[in-house]
A and B are shown apart, each in its own frame.
Chain A
């Protein structure tokens, strides 16, 4: 089954800087989702972008999707210490409620 793969795996930035992470996948999708996970906690849904969309914004988050390259990026602008977390992309290909998650990006925002 397909699986999102985030890149880079770990990112350390200063508060106020932007953080960008990428995700690639292997097969056609219905949508791609990004989730955040604070240490040892459950995942929190951030944003969903459908296969016919190219860009989507939500607050300080900007997601792009390039279906020709089978890749997506998540940009967090003006990062805050509270953004420190792991970020996962997940792809939905079959419409059967089955999401395939990537390994995650660890982002550390230094105050």
Chain B
């Protein structure tokens, strides 16, 4: 798990707040991902970045805004969230070529009040 770090680990925010989640990978990977994990639901892919370019936006609401300044860092900017956005947000990275295993960070537990 230390190959991919996420901060903060826990976040409580109001619906009018603006906050950002940060992910950093130390594995030299080229692809990075944001996932949302809610109770009783499968892991939901939100965004995929390859070589800093966004290659997938899985119909995510615009209140979630990703940013990938380089291959090692990934952010998820949050604004005007809803209570149903409360979940565990997981970042992952992979080598980027076909069918590689993904390495996950520990996640940020987000609670929207």
Question: Which residue numbers of A lie inside 8 Å of B, CB to CB?
Answer: 3, 30-31, 33, 35, 40-45, 48, 50, 88, 92, 95-104
Q: Which residue of B lies closest to A48 (CB)?
A: B101
Q: Which residues of A contact B40 (CB under 8 A)?
A: 103
Q: Contact: B1 with A44, CB < 8 Å?
A: yes
Please report which residues of chain B, range 41-82, place their CB below 8 angstroms from some CB of chain A when the two chains form the complex: 41-43, 45, 48, 50, 55-56
Q: Is B94 an interface residue (CB 8 A)?
A: yes
> Total interface residues on B, using CB and 8 Å?
30
Do the beta carbons of A98 and B48 come within 8 Å of each other?
A: yes
Please tell me if the beta carbons of A88 and B100 are within 8 angstroms of each other in the complex. no
From residue B75, how far is it (CB to closest CB) to chain A in Å? 17
Q: Which of chain A's residues has its CB closest to B6's CB?
A: A42
| B109-A40 in contact (CB<8A) | yes
Given contact pairs A31-B99, A42-B4, A43-B104, a sample of 15 additional A-B residue pairs in the complex whose CB atoms are under 8 Å apart: A33-B101, A40-B88, A42-B6, A42-B92, A43-B90, A92-B99, A95-B98, A95-B99, A96-B56, A97-B33, A97-B98, A98-B56, A99-B45, A102-B42, A104-B42
